[in-house]
């Protein structure tokens, strides 16, 4: 091919040629003399990727939260003519300020970003080791701009069964490029603080950058094909804000919390003593004046027995209201908070208090100190995309989105500093109103009405406010109607049905029968026709999919269900010895070794796998391409459907093989028909299991499901149906289970575009806040929970910061919800606790 034509083809289609390897790209070692050429190549490139290699010893032994030392920066660049080059910078050979300045000048243009795999890590390493020291030396440099390919990959997999964390670069290179990366872990862990780099280390660093560039190219194509460009832009724009929030951390009064814990431990001892007194006494504690009950309050089994013995009247009254007949608590009855509240009485009250105290002491307790960074602050992690299926963030180490109210007062800045807290008011309900185009709800929002009061008026045809309204004349009825309206306003978005509404209202102190709850939902949908139509449309989609799209290939699905655990087990065994990504060939070889050394397990699940000799590498690769075994079509692709947000976020719905097998086996176990009953009896006998027995008058299903927690039994029962009753009956059984599962997904499908849409709004807000808060050098984001954000700043700046934050959240909401007024409730407070609010903020108070 003509050279010019080849270059133009490469520029338009940046995919590597078939068989191309990262080592084919020329490597330039960058010393001080070559730094200018490297900077020019970055600045003039049409695409670039950057990776870092760090000193492993620092990372392995450093204090929690410490960023490892930087040793190598590698880059891959593509020039205008399509030619590519890789660059390896040994940081030890450079003046750090000069290197920081060179990078800053090369990538200063706002529309230039470097591709990275896990950009947050590389960003922190370069900021900590180069940018911050350069600033301290007086250089005017900024952080690099990044495009995180790891986030893009996660968007392609969002919602898939089993996908719960980010993939590694080696996995992506194999998946998207067909490259097998060997020896990665050994080289990755070999970088030291000084000494010359080996040829292997240089080649490894260069290859990482090239792989990142090539994978990013492929991901951009796939994102566009999947309609995910805009939501990817939102995720990328939000990442720097969330990264800086993690770095800033939350101020935490650890000493004050320790003192609080001491009081909680005393209170728990008092509650245990009271439980002992209420249930026949107990033993004196070895140290202290309290009593220990003779039973374990943490055991639901023992708690049920205690309630049946010491509060039988209350238990029977609860069961009569719950299922129409007075009876004692059965082993299958859950003792959740709503059940304990429904039974009531002093024992249940004490149990609820004990559980609350135990959760606080166990979940948070003294373990909070383990999360403190070197700066004495908490630095929670926030997970984008992989945190939830809907797009909402998740948090860990510690979970900053689920702090107990007791803990929040101890999240407090030092004197002279305050928190600005801002929360999008009723974000999900407003977003649902936008999606549904409901005129009634939109009017209520436009008029600034209390939405729950307005809903009650429409549902019940009563006047709620004003001198002649229920608020003034009959406050109990006002509260009852408003509570009912509030429950439905939020519950309808999650697919709430009559049974759930009945339980929720009853637990909230508004006794409501199932029939009354059904009537309330009917009244709500009659009052809000737009919402009713939208709900019906979402539910009809599920019904249509269940009726027309369940084209599962059951033999192939069952083979995947049997093969996947074994491929996954082999992969995990390999990773235990070498913490790196392993190729399908390596996993296949490990499976052969396992087959030779491990005896078959009862023949369970082996009907389609007589031995791994029948499994080739291609089939292993196919199994490993799934994050979990799911129901598949005849072409081997997952059976699935998806939901979209206005920004294009895709939540995928797939079907776990394990769940389908469990449902199918439960149907067999509960069947009274002769042939299924015989299959069930034979399966239990083969594994020497006793048939499940339900309490007198109670349904058998919970007891069967309890037995089927042993997953091998699920597969055995389904296989036996095929063997004893035939493939047609087995397929009928599995299709019935799959149909049930589709129906159960209706609520999640209904809610997906709402939760996901508000998640997109918040991502948009994070990106905007990153720029808007730049004019306040002392302001830093420290927490976000779903639809809210917390900014720490100097007290003197708080009024201005509050207005900026309020405007920014409302602007983001208005972009994606243009027809409904956006409101961000904003205040200034001295801790995360609502009791510490010092000022409510409205824009008019501080605007010119």
Q: Which fold has domain 3-226?
A: Nucleotidyltransferase; domain 5 (3.30.420)
Give the global pTM.
Answer: 0.90
Structural contact between residues 561 and 629, judged by C-beta atoms closer than 8 angstroms: yes
Q: What is the pLDDT of residue 366?
A: 87
Q: Tokens 């709850």 label which residue?
A: 517
Nearest to 73 by CA among 171, 212, 220: 212
CA R_g for the chain: 30
Q: What is the pLDDT of residue 123?
A: 96
Interval 407-458: pLDDT, tens: 999 999 999 999 999 999 999 999 999 999 999 999 999 999 999 999 989 8
- pLDDT greater than 80 at residue 60: no
Q: What is the average pLDDT score of the chain?
A: 89
What gap in Å lies between CA 341 and CA 337, rounded to an integer? 6
Structural contact between residues 153 and 165, judged by C-beta atoms closer than 8 angstroms: no
Interval 479-507: pLDDT, tens: 988 988 888 888 887 777 777 787 777 77
Which contacts of 836-842 are long-range, i.e. CB under 8 A and separated by 24 or more positions? 836/409, 836/412, 837/421, 838/418, 839/798, 839/799, 841/420, 841/799, 841/802, 841/803, 841/806
What gap in Å lies between CA 62 and CA 65, rounded to an integer? 8
Angle at 668 between CA 665 and CA 672, to 5 degrees: 160
What gap in Å lies between CA 397 and CA 378, rounded to an integer? 9
With pLDDT > 90 as the criterion, what percentage of the chain qualifies? Answer: 70
**Which residue would you say has higher pLDDT here, 11 or 229?**
229
Interval 774-795: pLDDT, tens: 999 999 999 999 999 999 999 9
Q: What's the CATH code, domain 395-429+753-846?
A: 3.30.70.370
Q: What is the pLDDT of residue 580?
A: 78
What gap in Å lies between CA 794 and CA 421, rounded to an integer? 14
For the chain, give every domain's residue range.
3-226, 254-371, 395-429+753-846, 439-527, 554-572+585-638
- pLDDT greater than 50 at residue 611: no
- pLDDT greater than 60 at residue 105: yes
Structural contact between residues 231 and 151, judged by C-beta atoms closer than 8 angstroms: no
β-bridge pairing 650-653 and 641-644: antiparallel
Compute the average pLDDT of residues 543-563. Answer: 93
One fold for both 3-226 and 395-429+753-846? Answer: no
Non-local (6+) Cβ contacts of 193 within 8 A are 55, 57, 58, 69, 71, 92
**Which residue would you say has higher pLDDT here, 585 or 631?**
631
Tell me the three state secondary structure of residue 78.
Answer: strand
């Amino acid at each position: 091919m003509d050279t010019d034509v080849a270059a133009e083809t490469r520029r338009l289609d940046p995919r590597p040629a078939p068989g191309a390897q990262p080592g084919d790209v020329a490597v330039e070692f960058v010393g001080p003399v070559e730094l200018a050429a490297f900077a020019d190549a970055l600045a003039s490139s049409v695409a670039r990727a950057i990776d870092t290699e760090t000193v492993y010893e620092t990372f392995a032994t450093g204090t929690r939260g410490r960023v490892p030392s930087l040793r190598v920066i590698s880059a891959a660049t593509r020039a205008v003519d399509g030619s590519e080059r890789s660059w390896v910078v040994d940081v030890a050979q450079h003046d750090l300020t000069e290197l920081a300045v060179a990078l800053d000048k090369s990538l200063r243009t706002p529309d230039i970003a470097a591709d990275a795999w896990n950009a947050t890590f590389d960003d922190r390493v370069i900021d900590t080791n180069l940018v911050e020291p350069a600033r301290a030396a007086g250089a005017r440099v900024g952080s690099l701009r990044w495009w995180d390919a790891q986030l893009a990959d996660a968007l392609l997999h969002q919602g898939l069964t089993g996908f719960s964390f980010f993939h590694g670069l080696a996995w992506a290179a194999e998946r998207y490029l067909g490259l097998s990366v060997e020896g990665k872990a050994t080289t990755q862990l070999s970088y030291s603080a000084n000494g010359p780099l080996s040829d292997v280390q240089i080649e490894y660093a260069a290859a990482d950058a090239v792989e990142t560039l090539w994978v990013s190219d492929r991901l951009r194509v796939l994102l566009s094909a999947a309609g995910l460009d805009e939501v990817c832009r939102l995720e990328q724009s939000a990442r720097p804000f969330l990264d800086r929030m993690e770095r800033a951390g939350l101020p935490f009064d650890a000493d004050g919390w320790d003192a609080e814990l001491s009081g909680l431990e005393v209170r728990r001892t008092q509650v245990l003593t009271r439980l002992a007194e209420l249930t026949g006494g107990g033993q004196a504690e070895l140290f202290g004046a309290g009593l220990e009950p003779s039973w374990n309050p943490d055991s639901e089994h023992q708690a049920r027995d205690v309630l049946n013995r010491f509060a039988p009247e209350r238990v029977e009254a609860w069961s009569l209201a719950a299922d129409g007949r007075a009876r004692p608590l059965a082993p299958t009855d859950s003792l959740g908070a709503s059940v304990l509240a429904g039974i009531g009485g002093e024992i249940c009250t004490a149990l609820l208090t004990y559980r609350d105290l135990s959760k606080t002491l166990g979940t948070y307790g003294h373990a909070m100190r383990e999360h403190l960074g070197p700066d004495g602050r908490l630095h929670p992690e926030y997970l984008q995309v992989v945190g939830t299926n809907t797009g909402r963030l998740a948090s860990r180490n510690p979970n900053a989105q689920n702090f107990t109210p007791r803990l929040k007062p101890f999240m407090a800045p030092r004197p002279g500093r305050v928190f600005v807290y801002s929360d999008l008011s009723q974000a999900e309900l407003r977003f649902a109103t936008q999606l549904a185009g409901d005129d009634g709800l939109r009017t209520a929002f436009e008029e600034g009405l209390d939405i729950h009061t307005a809903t009650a008026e429409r549902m019940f045809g009563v006047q709620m406010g004003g001198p002649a309204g229920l608020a003034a004349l009959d406050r109990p009825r006002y509260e009852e109607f408003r509570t009912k309206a509030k429950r439905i306003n939020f519950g309808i978005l999650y697919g709430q049905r009559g049974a759930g509404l009945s339980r929720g209202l009853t637990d909230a102190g508004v006794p409501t029968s199932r029939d009354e709850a059904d009537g309330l939902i009917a009244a709500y949908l009659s009052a809000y026709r737009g919402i009713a139509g939208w709900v019906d449309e979402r539910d009809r989609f599920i019904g249509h999919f269940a009726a027309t799209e369940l084209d599962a290939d059951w033999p192939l699905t069952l083979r995947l269900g049997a093969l996947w655990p074994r491929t996954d087990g082999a992969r995990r065994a390999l990773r235990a010895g070498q913490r790196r990504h392993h190729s399908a060939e390596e996993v296949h070889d490990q499976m052969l070794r396992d087959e030779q050394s491990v005896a078959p397990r009862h023949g369970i699940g082996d009907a389609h796998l007589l031995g791994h000799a029948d499994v080739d590498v291609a089939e292993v690769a196919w199994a490993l391409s799934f994050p979990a075994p799911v129901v598949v079509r005849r072409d081997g692709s997952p059976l699935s459907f998806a939901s979209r947000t206005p920004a294009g976020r895709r939540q995928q719905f797939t079907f776990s093989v394990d769940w389908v097998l469990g449902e199918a086996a439960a149907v067999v176990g509960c069947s009274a028909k002769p042939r299924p009953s015989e299959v069930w009896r034979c399966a239990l006998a083969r594994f020497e299991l006793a048939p499940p027995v339900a309490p007198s008058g109670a349904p058998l299903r919970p007891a069967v499901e309890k037995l089927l927690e042993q997953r091998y039994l699920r597969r055995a029962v389904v296989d036996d149906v095929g063997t004893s009753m035939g493939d047609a009956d087995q397929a009928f059984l599995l299709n019935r289970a799959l149909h049930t599962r589709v129906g159960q997904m209706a609520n999640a499908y209904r809610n997906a575009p709402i939760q996901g849409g508000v998640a997109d709004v918040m991502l948009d807000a994070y990106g905007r806040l990153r720029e808007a808060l730049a004019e306040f050098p002392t302001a830093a984001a420290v927490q976000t929970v779903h639809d809210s954000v917390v900014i720490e700043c100097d007290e003197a700046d708080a009024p201005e910061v509050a207005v900026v934050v309020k405007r920014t959240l409302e602007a983001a909401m208005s972009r994606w919800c243009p027809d409904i007024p956006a409101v961000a409730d904003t205040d200034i407070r001295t801790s995360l606790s609502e009791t510490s609010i010092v000022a409510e903020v409205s824009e008019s108070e501080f605007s010119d």
